[in-house]
Amino acid sequence: MATIAIGSDHAGPEAKSHIKDMLESIGETVIDCGTQGPQSVDYPDYAQKVGQLIQTGAADWGVLICGTGIGISIAANKMKGIRAALCHNPMTAQMARAHNNANVLCLGARVLEPATMLELVRVFRETTFEGGRHQNRIDKIHQLEE
């Protein structure tokens, strides 16, 4: 089983709660990085919290949620070693893991239905990195961080 860090801004606490419940129901350990309510907060703070847990190895991968998923994915991708993918359908979630070795799934609470978000988390969780020709591309991404 994996340890998953999950965080959201004020647009995503309800979605975050559903995702957390689903992951815990299948035996995953979930670290909830907040936020818990509808008061306006800054999404980079939650991207940083989740990203740091992945960087330190305290979490295996993460889920981040904001209104569209765009802002929180941009923020997360500023962190060394974080490959955050904004996904909208099962194929993008699968390819994010299989080809890009994404370690953070980003979702938009205002643009996706709750059932779709759960499905994307399931697909992301169940998909493994294919390696091979894709590893060279991941290595080049890491070079960009230097």
Residue 134 among the catalytic residues? no
Q: DSSP readout, 75-95? A: HHTTSTT--EEE--SHHHHHH
Burial of 117 (0-12, 13-18, 19+ CB in 10 A): buried
- Phi, psi (degrees; rounded to nearest 5) at 63: -130, 130
Distance from C-alpha of 72 to C-alpha of 51, rounded to nearest angstrom: 11
Of these residues, 10, 18, 88, 99, which one is catalytic? 99
Enzyme catalytic residues: 99
